[in-house]
A and B are shown apart, each in its own frame.
Chain A
Amino acid sequence: ETGVTQTPRHLVMGMTNKKSLKCEQHLGHNAMYWYKQSAKKPLELMFVYNFKEQTENNSVPSRFSPECPNSSHLFLHLHTLQPEDSALYLCASSQEGPLGSPNEQFFGPGTRLTVL
């Protein structure tokens, strides 16, 4: 595997289900990100992890719970979601410089989530 991979690629879940999205980066980067992409909206940053520590949480509802066990893996745990959470969820990684400035982000293929 190369680059950034995400599983599953498609997910349909009910509002009472619990599921998890997985992201893995094979680039040796030290920062990973979760984005939400909804129709006709800009990409929304949800979470940022640098060196496995969460550094950004953009007021995301608690029904989304991230986990970063190591610098190569990132999970997004989902529970009691709403239909408006249906979107494309993209994972990205980058190598942050010594002063924290991020370099180019590399994106995974995304998980298309549908909440019924």
Chain B
Amino acid sequence: ELKVEQNPLFLSMQEGKNYTIYCNYSTTSDRLYWYRQDPGKSLESLFVLLSNGAVKQEGRLMASLDTKARLSTLHITAAVHDLSATYFCAVVPLTGNQFYFGTGTSLTVIP
């Protein structure tokens, strides 16, 4: 059974601090996606990572992909309240076209 595990599941961090969310998966893949979901809202695409070593940055968020370790990270730099949301990673196996989502990381940034 293909697994996509995120940790932590819940994260409370102070404004201005840095932290990393991890996404581990159990299949061979070179496609990984990060999404953000605000309460009561839909999923918003953040990053698309399509090769080993891919790194993308947008504002205070930076995502990377290590396909050999089957690991992606979402790094938060100098967190602000607006980043409070649930973050999901999703993997597409090399031999398929289905998206497998992680359980999500609920991030709360406190003043």
Contacts and interface: CB of A to CB of B under 8 A. Distances in A.
The reply to whether chain A is a binding partner of chain B is yes
A101 B97 contact: yes
B13 to A, nearest CB: 21
Nearest to B47: A104
Interface residues of B, number: 21
The interface size bin for chain A is: 20 to 34
Interface string B85-109: 0001010100001110111100000
Interface of A: 33, 40-43, 45, 48, 50, 55-56, 90, 92, 96, 100-110, 112
A102 B102 contact: no
A108 B48 contact: no
Contact of A96 (B4, B44, B97): B97
Interface of B: 4, 31, 33, 35, 40-45, 48, 88, 90, 92, 97-99, 101-104
18 contacts: A33-B99, A40-B103, A42-B101, A42-B102, A48-B97, A48-B98, A90-B43, A92-B43, A101-B97, A102-B92, A102-B99, A104-B48, A105-B33, A105-B90, A107-B42, A108-B42, A109-B41, A110-B42
